[in-house]
Amino acid sequence: MRLFGLLPLAGAALLLLGMTGGVQPTVTREAFDSMLSARNVSGCEGGAFYTYDAFLAAANASVFPGFGTTGDDKTRRRELAAFFGQTSFVTTGYCYVKAVNRASAPYYGRGPIQLTTEDNYRLAGRALGLDLLRYPDLVSTDPVVAFKTAIWFWMTAAAPSPSCHAVMTGGWTPSAQDRDAGLLPGYGMTTYILNGGTECNRTSQAAQDRVNNYYKKYCDILRVGYGNNTFCQNDELAQPPSSSLHPPPPPPPGTPGEPSPPPASRSVLIGVSSSVSLLIIIGSLICFLLWRRRTRRRKQAEIREEAMEHGSEEGNFFDVDQAMEDDFEKGAGPRRFRYRDLVVATGNFCDDNKLGQGGFGSVYRGFLNGLNLQVAIKRVSKGSKQGRKEYASEVRVISRLRHKNLVQLIGWCHEGGNLLLVYELMPNGSLDRHLYGANNVVLPWSVRHEILLGLGSALLYLHEDWDQCVLHRDIKPSNIMLDASFKAKLGDFGLAKLVQHGRRSLTTDFAGTMGYMDPECMTTGKTNPESDVYSLGVVLLETACGRRPVVVTQREEDAVHLAQWVWDLYGKGRILDAADERLGGEFDAQEMKRVMIVGLWCSQLDFKMRPPIRQAVNVLRSEAPLPSLPALMPVAYYMPPVATRSFTSSSVTSGSSSGTCTPSMAASARPPLSQD
């Protein structure tokens, strides 16, 4: 009796210990060492790095209330088994501390859960009180920080997905849509949240098995059952319906002497035939509606194509709106916003929130309360037909593109004649602001070099790695945006065109910015991938030298053309003399030389002499040798000499230009250079 009387007290003591002792009562040192056994393997850098004490310090931090301590004992054990299961899958059983990174991806793959983007470093650092953007190596040099970032990832929800913590502790209630998709509480849902793009693919069963093996092994170590739904989709979805597993029992036999049921009556036959006829009518109606819908879609596509090529008049822009809306809503990326929500987000488009203004509209800073997100909102001027045309072009192109070096489109709005696009906010503005800004802060060479590598990566994706070839047609520093960590993201697709791979050129009205436009486009009206390569070459030279493409002096005939000036120095063996003087010689000489030579290679006047984008990017990445260029700058044979005043630094399109512009291109003119 005395023993039974002590049991409730012992249970209360254990409960109190669980409440005050953090995760230590659930994961002992022995259990930790058993789960992370790969640390003992020779050659695993995580052996001396991931320690039990570091895990306890991170898990019991006040910033993570409830981690491993929520719910009953089974819930706690399952959550910690799930946490170590997911992190073990990423680190191969906590063998690795830091993934091998590409030179252009300094923030990729550190710690027990990969913080795959700079955004995660920013958000995690803010939550932990650390500057992880500036000091990302904390994640791979401080084990407490490594565990903290992993737990932050585990505890933080990324809408619309819940947090893994909520899933494992009963804090998440799946919607009807989630249930239909087989997404239910359980370990499989955490796999879906963290690795849904790969491991949860139906064809990746082996990957799902590996993830589950870690979890089940750790559940065994922590002595707890696996629970339900250990795979990404509900286990029950893979089973046949219950009716096929358990067929209904046969009807009981009739009693002896009971008469057999009468044969089917005439009315039953009539009813059956009527039902069949009704089904035929319904099927025919459905086929008709599908045909009508397909026809409508085809007509909308034709309207859209015509609008992209020739612009749209007021009378048919509503149809273009509808066609674009269909384009958006077929995708899973951008979402539609109400105009009044964007009015609130920008403070009624207050001038204090204006980030910039162009010929066809303005860009405002905004804050979306529902998403807790700062954004940039582009508002097209109502009276600008060219702006509406560029809006349609941008919608058509950028809403379908996904690349880390392209500005992300968050959403859109065309309501009551208002056309707005919502983008991710680029806190550091555009590249030209840092090259020529009045703040006297010099952009370091290492940052410039990463920006140029990012730009090359974006252009390679547009030209060769997407379904169609995307011609941007307006590559320049003011369209190269910089995020919080100064990673380059190419934006402004208002002049972009889509062409099929293999089609070498597109005849169109010339458009772009003087100084960055391909001379061939000016003379022949043809644009091609090499036109973007030309613009890339100009930007490479401009970023390395800190000079604009054309420097106009008091006498216009003495204007200094950047490419010509750099090529002259290259011919004299003094190309590094062209480096931006503000850098004070603080740059990698080989990188600087490589960027300048690739810039000259890409900006040659004859498009046939320019490299394909992949070849140029390979050289920029030091994955291919430098080209051998002639000592003197070649002149394209089709280029007639004209006055240098034809060069201005303004965005133009056919029929509208703020500068003097003729079909003849002044780039072939080679005035004497006074800045040797």
CA–CA dist 218, 31 (Å, integer):
9
Mean predicted lDDT score pLDDT of the chain: 76
CB 58 within 8 A of CB 151: yes
Contact 71, 169 (CB under 8 A): yes
More confident residue, 60 or 159: 60
pLDDT of residue 38 exceeding 90 = no
Q: Is 474 an annotated catalytic residue?
A: yes
* pLDDT average, residue stretch 270-289: 77
SS3 for 434? Answer: helix
Can you tell me the distance from the alpha carbon of 361 to that of 381, in angstroms, rounded to the nearest whole number?
5
Instruction: Compute φ and ψ for 649, nearest 5 degrees.
Output: -110, 65
Fold of the domain spanning 307-424: Phosphorylase Kinase; domain 1 (3.30.200)
- Decide if domain 431-668 falls under CATH 3.30.70.580: no
For 450-497, the pLDDT digits (tens) are 999 999 999 999 999 888 899 999 999 999 999 989 999 999 888 888
Confidence of residue 556 (pLDDT cuts 50, 70, 90): low
Question: How far is it, in rounded angstroms, from Cα 49 to Cα 496?
Answer: 49
Which of the given ranges, 40-49, 150-159, 621-630, has the highest pLDDT on average? 621-630
Question: How confident is the model at residue 96, as a pLDDT?
Answer: 72
Residue 624 has pLDDT above 60, yes or no: yes
Annotated binding site for ATP: 378
Burial of 624 (0-12, 13-18, 19+ CB in 10 A): middle
Question: What is the C-alpha to C-alpha distance for residues 84 and 69, in angstroms, rounded to an integer?
Answer: 15
User: In the beta sheet, which residues pair with residue 363?
Assistant: 356, 378
Would you call 88 exposed, middle or buried from its count of C-beta atoms within 10 A (0-12, 13-18, 19+)? buried
pLDDT in tens, 407-431: 988 888 888 788 999 999 999 999 9
Instruction: Return the structure tokens found at 252.
Output: 């009981």
Domain 17-237 CATH assignment equals 1.10.530.10: yes
Bridge partners, residue 436, by sequence: none
**Which residue among 178, 321, 327, 474 is the active-site one?**
474
- Quick: pLDDT tens for 221-263: 999 888 888 777 654 443 333 333 334 444 444 434 344 444 4
Residues annotated in a binding site: 378
Summarize the chain as % helix, strand, coil (round to 5): 45, 10, 45
CB atoms within 10 A of CB 399: 20
Domain ranges for the chain: 17-237, 307-424, 431-668
H or E, element range at 541: helix 529-545
More confident position, 256 or 556: 556
Return the ∠ at Cα 268 (arms to 266 and 269), rounded to 5°.
65
SS (H, E, C) 276-290: HHHHHHHHHHHHHHH
Q: What is the pLDDT of residue 205?
A: 65
CA 169 – CA 106 distance, rounded (Å): 34
Cβ(643)–Cβ(669) under 8 Å?
Answer: yes
49 with 143: CB under 8 angstroms?
yes
Q: What is the pLDDT of residue 233?
A: 61
